[in-house]
Structure 1
């Protein structure tokens, strides 16, 4: 079984991944900014790790010991039109969702490369390949994450390191409900925001995402990209088939 470090394991998808992997017999190192939120997880180690802080990442990786697999899951989202979203929020998402993921990957890669084996698993989204209105900053951070992950796959594959990008659609993890929203009830984008639920599509559970992540880790030849659930597969197929000459949206708008 593998030794797996998971970022953002205190709730939602990350917590479900920790439970799933522990149940399959893997050695799980669960991390979060607030390690006390990990106390009830049935894992081998519970560590503090803030992906936006160099020292925190170094300390957690040192404490974790040998790491076969990194599951880079920590991330947040926001709801706002690009016309008025606070730029500080956009920068925050990129620090967490994109640069933070790279920071932890940089921390574990030297040992993986020297050992000649390892697996980086990035929890992305269908929004790493397509866009949804009112969630643009999150989508942009995931597009950037996927560019970094694919580059890592090319750069590190020679050293025996595998890279996988897991792409769920909407997930019933509570993340959308916790997202900061910057939108006036009577603002010009309010009618569009009210359609956001339909735009996000049918939700899968955190447990479904966790099972897909675990299957990917246990696959001896994992694919680079893994769509999670039929809704995600449909959206990504439609995006691939759509012409590049105009914006793509998975459903029609009525506003």
Structure 2
């Protein structure tokens, strides 16, 4: 079985991945900014790791020992139209969702390259391939993440490192309710904001995403991009079939 380090394992998808992989017999190193919240997870190690802090990443990777698989899951979202989205919030999302993922990947890659084996699994979103209004800052950070991941697949494949990008659609997690919102009631974009539940589409569970991640890790030759669940498959198929020269929305907007 593999030694798997998971970022952002305190709740939601990350926590479900930790449980799923532990149940399958893998050695799981669960990490979070507050490791005390990991106390009830059935994992081998629980470590503090803040993906936006280089010292934190270095200390966690040193404590973790040899890592066969990195599951890069830490992330956050906001709700704001791009016209008025606070740029500090957009920057925060890039630091966490994109650069944070790269920071940890940079930490594990030298040993993987030297061993000529390893897995990088990035938990992205269908919004790494299409966009939804009012969630644009999050989508932009996931597009950046997917560009980095695909580049890593090209650059490191020669050294035996396999890269996969798991793409869920809407997932029933607390991340949605905890998301910061910058859409006041008098915003001209408020009617669009109120349609978000419909625009996000059918919701799946964190456990369903976790099973896809675990299956991907256990595949001998996993694909680069892996839609997580039927709703994601449908949305990404529709995006692929739609014209590239005009905006695409997987659901109708009453606008």
Alignment TM-score, normalising by the size of structure 1:
0.99
Q: Distance in 2 between matches of 1:10 and 1:174?
A: 11
1:130-151 CA distances to partner (integer Å, 9 max, x unpaired)?
0000000000000000000000
Partner of 1:101: 101
Superposed displacement of residue 87, structure 1: 0.3
Cα RMSD, aligned residues only: 0.4
Aligned length: 255
1:70-104 CA distances to partner (integer Å, 9 max, x unpaired)?
00000000000001010000000000000000000
Superposed displacement of residue 245, structure 1: 1.1
Superposed displacement of residue 252, structure 1: 1.2
SS at match of 1:31: strand
Matched, 1:12 2:12: yes
Partner of 1:215: 215
Q: Distance in 2 between matches of 1:85 and 1:113?
A: 39
Q: Distance in 2 between matches of 1:5 and 1:214?
A: 13
Gaps of 5+ in 2: none
Partner of 1:142: 142
SS at match of 2:171: coil
1:171-192 CA distances to partner (integer Å, 9 max, x unpaired)?
0012111100001112100000
Gaps of 5+ in 1: none
SS at match of 1:88: helix
Superposed displacement of residue 205, structure 1: 0.2
Alignment TM-score, normalising by the size of structure 2:
0.99
Q: Distance in 1 between matches of 2:111 and 2:170?
A: 34
Q: Which runs of 4+ in 1 moved over 2 A?
A: none
Partner of 1:22: 22
Q: Distance in 2 between matches of 1:60 and 1:176?
A: 28
The 5 A counterparts of 1:77-226 are 77-226=77-226
1:156-206 CA distances to partner (integer Å, 9 max, x unpaired)?
000000000000000001211110000111210000001001100001100
Partner of 1:239: 239
